[in-house]
A and B are shown apart, each in its own frame.
Chain A
Amino acid sequence: MDWIDLLITLLKAVVVVVIVMTISGYSVVGERKVSSWVQGRVGPNRTTIPLLGSIPVIGKLLTRWGIFQLPADGAKFLFKEEPLPDHVNKFYYNLAPIISFLPPMIILTVLPFGQYVKDGVSSAVALTQTDVGILFVMAVSSLGVYGLILAGWAANSKFPFLGGIRASSQMISYELCIGLSLLPVFMWTGGTLDLFAVVQAQGGVLFGESFGLPKWFIFSQPLSALLYLVALFAETNRLPFDMPESETDLVGGFHTEYGAFKFGLFFVGEYAHMAIGSALFSIIFLGGWSIPFLPLSAYPEGILGAVLSVLVLAAKTIFLIFFYMWIRWTLPRFRYDQVMNLGWKILLPLAVANLVAYAIVMAFMPGL
């Protein structure tokens, strides 16, 4: 590989990371906005940047939408005093936020963001396209829990420790369900684990024109989609499954002893996890960049089609991030034993039954 190729790859990676970080940063602002809308409030609408905020119409509007809240929050985290409690294990205490932040960034490397068509041959807009796609994603995303466990353990006090334990047990219970709920999808696509191929399989219409559903896996495999969605909520520690954090009974859970920028890393890491999870769900179940009822070949060739496809995927992802927040304000949080019951006694058997049922169906109807 030439050094120019290397530079281009590096540049692409930086662009992707910057975009995803911006999305996950702004989902923090979005969370505050959505929360306040649900509660009949206005949300952050005053933070402003001196020169930008005084541009006649746009400045006012951006201030009202809370666009400047993110830099303000980020700057606040940067300038705060960085506390390092005496009783912590310093090495792991510092390592934990980084570890919990890294997996979403690593998953980014294999996610396809759109398709690029050239001379009738479509390829993925992605940093790398690997055959092991989903395997890699699942392997790396389950590493995220190590950050939480390490944080809970290194903080060397009781509430974070409980949070860490809960994080690990929750992750183990729901990791199984994630794997089992995804298997039927990849059986359906003919055994490939490539995420790009999964999207390719979802263009067009399900069961012929008359049936009137997009050929998305959420319609052909609704139960898999539901199980995956629930497990995804648990994986990303979002309410109603916020066991590791559970600020109602564990102070702040695993990040009780953290402050300033390290806490900010956990925080943004959680939202990055959400963003990546949403992107994955859109890719696997919501047809990725496929527009309902249109075949994937409807995208024009070249850069225009690529940009369009990326935008469609982004729209679906952002809707799902919104859905996370929507659910947060709809459902009360579970008790710890309820989380375990749901995971082991309901979701896991359902996932197994779902897998077996689809296996039988596919075995007897090979042309599906």
Chain B
Amino acid sequence: MAIKVLDRKPLSLAERTYLPQIISGLGITLRNMLKPPVTLQYPEEKPVIPKGYRGVPTLVKDPNGREKCVSCQLCEFVCPPKAIRITPGEIADPENPHVEKAPKDFELNMLRCIYCGLCEEVCPEEAIVLQDLYSLNSEAREEIVLHKDKLYELGGTLPDKHFKWDKKKKAAEDAASGDSH
């Protein structure tokens, strides 16, 4: 590659006085002053939450309104700051006889949570999801420790293509009718 020798000019008199530079600098700051502000007026204007944002972990229900969590406790074990504590429980729901387990209590201590998203990653049922809730505050520490009902309230229902319990029900019915594959 050919070497290109650049001409290093000494500073001209105008440059050494700094005045032209100061004037052009004033121009830049003036242009900045006339631009509209880039900040949000926060409590009134909310930021747009990007896709894949890791907000507060929440429990979600499937489109039939059933709990997805089966209290396998994988999230509890993977959670690095040990923010999750699950009390597993059986459920005997006559409506959904194929749903076997659900947490009796799902305690998520948001004072410990580091929003790492490992619980979402490890969950085999896609039951715990970090959604777009970013502002969690309260006047009492107890209220920051979220429990099952609050977590389901925050999570709501997410679209779901699996319909796991419907498939299980169908499989059980097929087995009962003696049509086994």
What is A's interface to B at a CB cutoff of 8 Å? 34, 36-42, 226, 326-327, 329-331
Contacts and interface: CB of A to CB of B under 8 A. Distances in A.
Nearest to B33: A37
B37 A329 contact: no
A34 B29 CA distance: 10
A42 B22 contact: no
Given A326-B29, A326-B30, A330-B29, A41 B22 contact: no
19 contacts: A37-B33, A38-B29, A39-B32, A40-B32, A40-B35, A40-B38, A40-B39, A41-B38, A41-B39, A42-B37, A42-B39, A326-B30, A326-B33, A327-B26, A329-B29, A330-B22, A330-B26, A330-B29, A331-B25
Nearest to B28: A330
Interface string B19-45: 100100110111011010111010000
A40 B41 CA distance: 13
Contacts of A226: 19
Contacts of B29: 38, 326, 329-330
A46 B77 CA distance: 47
Contacts, number: 34
A331 B24 CA distance: 11
B23 to A, nearest CB: 9
A331 B22 CA distance: 7
Contact of A42 (B19, B28, B32, B41): B41
Contact of A36 (B25, B30, B37, B41): B37
Contact of B26 (A34, A39, A326): A326
B25 A34 contact: no
A42 B45 CA distance: 14
Contacts of A36: 37
A39 B39 CA distance: 10
